[in-house]
């Protein structure tokens, strides 16, 4: 059984930083795409960043490019999202998601088979 556990959210002031973690189990970690999404109240889920664990390719949404960095610790089967220069509009529930064996991963909800439970990030102004 594949499980994803997201953590690391919290309350931070604008301009601050947070690091989210997504610990995976049961996943073919070296052949997966793992992504971070977020959903703010009343808004659609937004894809933020993904990493292809087989070759390290990354992809970022324009809204977070230059501020967020995705990385992996293969020994721990964990993906991180380092978030810097946070803005109030970054406030949302953040989710990690994974899919195995996808050659051309994209930041589309429908591509991902496994989802974590979400972690709340609140950025105060």
Q: How confident is the model at residue 69 (pLDDT cuts 50, 70, 90)?
A: very high
Using CA atoms, how far apart are residues 70 and 25, in angstroms rounded to an integer? 19
Nearest to 106 by CA among 51, 63, 39: 51
Burial 85-122 (b: 16+ CB within 10 A, else e): ebeeebbbbbbbbbbbebeebebeeebbebbbebbebe
Segment 115-125, tens digit of pLDDT: 999 999 999 99
Segment 88-111, tens digit of pLDDT: 999 999 999 999 988 888 999 999
Segment 4-63, tens digit of pLDDT: 999 999 999 999 999 999 999 999 999 999 999 999 999 999 999 999 999 999 999 999
* pLDDT at res. 102: 84
């Amino acid at each position: 059984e594949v499980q994803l556990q997201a953590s690391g959210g919290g309350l931070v002031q604008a301009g601050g930083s947070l690091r989210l973690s997504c610990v995976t189990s049961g996943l073919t970690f070296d052949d997966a795409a793992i992504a971070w999404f977020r959903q703010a109240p009343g808004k659609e889920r937004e894809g933020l960043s993904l990493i292809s664990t087989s070759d390290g390719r990354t992809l970022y949404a324009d809204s977070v490019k230059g501020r967020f960095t995705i990385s992996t610790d293969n020994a721990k089967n964990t993906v991180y999202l380092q978030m810097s220069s946070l803005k109030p509009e970054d406030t949302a529930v953040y989710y990690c998601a994974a899919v195995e064996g996808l050659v051309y991963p994209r930041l589309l909800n429908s591509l991902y088979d496994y989802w974590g439970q979400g972690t709340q990030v609140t950025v105060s102004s």
